[in-house]
Chains A and B, each alone.
Chain A
């Protein structure tokens, strides 16, 4: 049936016709409908999504590439799933922090409503719990880094992992600005009350009332026995601090980390000297940004990317910029969007840039 559908709908493919009937219909793509949007803590919004039948499930701690159309333009961001892997109502949950000047997070906070259709990748990422669980699980998170460890905690609770004090133990160490900034504050309290094996440690960097205070320091850690493992997710500062402690004190407990990169900051007008580093991720080459076009810098680095007109019209040199900002030579336009296609013959890097070449 599918090959026949493919043949009669060539060259566009069945999805391009199915979606005309119902935007959720697709043979392969995961699409989801936003069922609910709720403000859950200061600066966080929680989405409930119902995926179509192409969703293949996930492991606690994994993330999805989430694509939403804003003013007709598709924007993609990676968000961790926060729900238990058993998601009883079949709904997926994402909690998104508002970034200053964040196009997508800003839209989700102020404009998105139930009923909108979004696109999802299948779940991805290796920041997950093993099937064979250690006796003591330490989950550390900062800010919106709470989402993947929340998924782990909910999954563990659903499993009955820390249901009694004789079963497994979970220590949930979370850093936030204040109690108001903790997404899942009430649910965490309920879970802790119901699960004797769960210990909550909340540290507020700018407020009082937590079990701990200030930023991460070694004394915040509980004592870890021989059968323990730790997961940490949060901003680079927290993840680096935890990893550094592990590295210098030689803690033998396995540690898995995940950090989110801050979105590209707004950049000043391009009047200064070129700075930063250009990374060609496919070939693994790195060069100091000379301010020349990406194509010229790639050629100077001994690479041989495809090109045609060398003036930005024929698109032969189109490549994927994964991170960083580039400025268009003719228009001066700045492109800061991650994972976007650019013409390397007519764009120059502004600061650190990674291109898939």
Chain B
């Protein structure tokens, strides 16, 4: 465990893990018709918003209609990517045996192909969460998000890169799956790269074709307005997705790990790392829905394959368990978590770490010291 993490004995770690396993078991055995109806209802709402949004843009010469179309389409894309796509691709609904909601067959309304996204997200990120050098999501190899990343003058642009990434986020996510750094180090061969690139080209051509050629063409003389509307919807989804995702692991007090610290960890230690490496966002029911329940990032990282609607039901219990073990439970409203990420992006643009030196001091360490 890193020096700024609360020091649990191995027995405490295992006991914590056992409690998490028991909680998981309780939810899994309770899954049923309600969960099925819930996700199918979300899909119905998303499809209705999508059809409405596309439809309104056929009358996009009226400014309020254009705005309504963009709003509906943005919401559709946000629901598709967050509450439906991300969660379906985690296998949260595989037990329904519905190919429309199955992790092996689903594709999101996003340029990244599901197969490659699952490889880097489900495997890379969820297995090696917050292990510097192994979790490729730490800074996406563009940004400096932990003092453990060695500073170089390149990082002076840290906040600017982050702003640019937020605008083109879906493309960033896709290119991230190309694993450029593994290609440069020779770990990943060119045949693999070319096979990945072909899949990316196929998926992104379909996406671009639909949003920027086909639908504009179908609206005839309104083509430029439809083009702009679809681009706006993609942009809004990009900004939203970026904000939610960056609040999940990068606010202050989230703990990162070195490879040595995470080596040979037990199941209990794995749970503790997931907890310490994640942060929640508080908000309304609607906010949780639009965030794909990634506002319950902690619960999601503990139980990535449990239907996301369950996270809010168990959050109180998880928090309570953490309290009993003296473990921190990082949560806060969106503006605070986002502000924290923004300050970190600026701070880490400069050499060194946070205000406390190499490691920022967490409330948990303070408790321990006391």
Cβ of B122 within 8 Å of any chain A Cβ, yes or no, is: yes
Docked Cα-Cα span, A218 to B107, in Å, equals: 57
Closest beta carbon of chain A to B126's beta carbon, Å:
5
B33–A314 CB distance below 8 A: no
Report the Cα distance A74→B102, complex, angstroms: 12
C-alpha spacing A73/B40, complex, angstroms: 12
**Which of A11, A76, A309 interacts with B126 by CB under 8 Å?**
A309
Number of interface residues of B (CB under 8 A): 48
Does B141 have its Cβ within 8 Å of any Cβ on chain A? no
Task: Give A306-335 as 1s and 0s: 1 = Cβ < 8 Å from B's Cβ atoms.
Answer: 001101111110100000000000111100
In contact, A311 and B127 (Cβ under 8 angstroms)? yes
- Restricting to A179-197, which residues have a CB under 8 Å from any CB of B? none
B305 CB contacts on chain A under 8 angstroms: 312-313, 315
Chain A residues with CB under 8 Å of B267's CB are 311, 330
Q: Is the CB of A10 within 8 A of B210?
A: yes
Neighbouring B residues of A4 by C-beta, 8 Å? 214
A72 touching B32 in the complex, CB below 8 Å, given contacts A308-B127, A331-B25, A341-B94: yes
Indicate whether A10 sits within 8 Å of B207 (C-beta atoms), given known contacts A313-B126, A314-B123, A318-B91: yes
Q: Which residues of B contact A331 (CB under 8 A)?
A: 21, 24-25, 28
- Choose among A73, A76, A316, A332 the residue with the greatest number of B CB atoms under 10 Å from its CB: A73
Q: Does A221 contact B (CB under 8 A)?
A: no
Q: Tell me if B44 counts as interface (CB < 8 A to partner A).
A: yes
Q: Which of B1-38 contact A (CB under 8 A)?
A: 21, 24-25, 28-29, 32-33, 35-37
Whether A74 pairs with B126 at a CB distance below 8 angstroms is no
Residues B119 and A316 in contact, CB atoms below 8 Å apart: yes
Is residue B97 contacting chain A, with contact meaning CB distance below 8 A?
Answer: yes
Contact A8 B215 (CB under 8 A): yes
- Across the interface, A316 reaches (CB within 8 A) one of B25, B102, B118, namely B118
- By a CB distance below 8 angstroms, the chain B residues around A20 are 44, 47-48
Pick the residue among A12, A17, A332, A341 that contacts B104 (CB under 8 A).
A341
Task: Name the interface residues of B116-168: CB closer than 8 Å to any CB of A.
Answer: 118-119, 122-123, 126-127
Is B203 in the interface zone, CB < 8 Å from A?
yes
B100 proximal to A (CB < 8 A): yes
- Contact of A52 with B by CB under 8 A: no
Interface centre among B51, B97, B107, B206 (most CB of A within 10 A): B97
Flag whether A340 is at the interface (Cβ < 8 A).
Answer: yes
Q: Cβ of B309 < 8 Å from any Cβ of A?
A: no
Whole-angstrom CA separation of A332 from B22 in the bound complex: 11
What mask results when residues 259 to 282 of chain B are scored 1 for a CB within 8 Å of chain A, else 0? Answer: 000000001001000000000000
Within 8 A of A (CB), among B201-233: 203, 206-207, 209-210, 214-215, 218
The residues of A that contact B51 with a CB separation of less than 8 Å are 17
Contact B127 A17 (CB under 8 A): no
Given A8-B214, A11-B206: A318 in contact with B109 (beta carbons within 8 A): no
Q: Are B107 and A12 in contact (CB under 8 A)?
A: yes
A4 vs B210: C-alpha distance in the bound complex, in angstroms? 10
User: Are B36's CB and A314's CB within 8 A?
Assistant: no
A215 contacts B by Cβ under 8 Å:
no
- Which one of A7, A12, A311 has the greatest number of beta carbons of chain B within 10 Å? A12
Given contacts A7-B209, A313-B122, A318-B91, contact A76 B127 (CB under 8 A): no
Complexed CA–CA distance, A333 and B91 (Å): 17
Distance (whole angstroms) from the CB of B114 to the closest CB of chain A: 8
Interface-centre pick from A10, A16, A312 (highest chain B CB count, 10 A): A10
- For A8-41 the 0/1 string (1 means CB < 8 A from B) is 1011100011001000000000000000000000
Pick from B21, B35, B100, B108 the residue with the most CB of A within 10 Å.
Answer: B100
B68 at the interface (CB under 8 A from A): no
Complex Cα distance, B40 from A74, in Å, reads: 13
When C-beta atoms are compared, the residue in chain A nearest to B36 turns out to be: A72
Q: From residue 296 to 353 of chain B, which have CB atoms closer than 8 A to chain A?
A: 304-305
Q: How far is the CA of A313 from the CA of B128 in the complex (A)?
A: 11
- From A12, A316, A333, B123 is in contact (CB under 8 Å) with A316
A71 located at the interface, meaning its Cβ lies under 8 Å from any Cβ of chain B in the complex? yes
In-complex Cβ contact of A17 among B28, B36, B47, B96 (8 A) = B47
Q: Could you say which residues of chain B place their CB within 8 Å of the CB of A10?
A: 206-207, 209-210
- Specify which chain B residues have a CB less than 8 angstroms from the CB of A73 in the assembled complex: 32, 36, 95-97
Cα distance A76–B99 in the bound complex, in angstroms: 12
> Closest chain A residue to B94 by CB distance?
A341
Which chain A residues border B210 with CB–CB below 8 Å? 7-8, 10
Q: Is B74's beta carbon under 8 Å from chain A?
A: no
Which residues of chain B are within 8 angstroms of A177 by Cβ–Cβ distance? none
Q: Kindly list chain A residues whose C-beta atoms are within 8 Å of the C-beta of B35.
A: 72
Contact A11 B91 (CB under 8 A): no
| Contact of A75 with B by CB under 8 A | yes
A340 to B97, CA, bound (A): 8
- With A311-B127, A315-B122 already in contact, the answer to whether A74 and B97 are too (CB < 8 A) is yes
Residue of A nearest to B22 (CB): A331
Check: B256 CB closer than 8 A to any chain A CB. Answer: no
Query: Which residue, of A4, A10, A11, A71, has the highest number of chain B Cβ atoms within 10 A?
Result: A11
3 tightest CB-CB pairs across the interface, nearest first? A72-B36, A308-B123, A11-B107
Q: What are 25 inter-chain pairs, A to B, with CB distance below 8 A?
A: A7-B209, A10-B207, A11-B107, A12-B109, A16-B43, A16-B47, A17-B51, A20-B47, A72-B32, A72-B33, A72-B35, A72-B36, A72-B40, A74-B96, A308-B122, A309-B122, A311-B127, A311-B267, A312-B305, A313-B127, A315-B94, A315-B103, A330-B267, A333-B28, A333-B29
Residues of A within 8 A of B (CB): 4, 7-8, 10-12, 16-17, 20, 71-76, 308-309, 311-316, 318, 330-333, 340-341
Besides the known contacts A316-B118, A333-B29, 10 further A-B residue pairs in the complex with CB atoms under 8 A apart = A7-B206, A10-B206, A11-B207, A16-B43, A72-B37, A312-B305, A315-B90, A315-B104, A331-B21, A332-B25
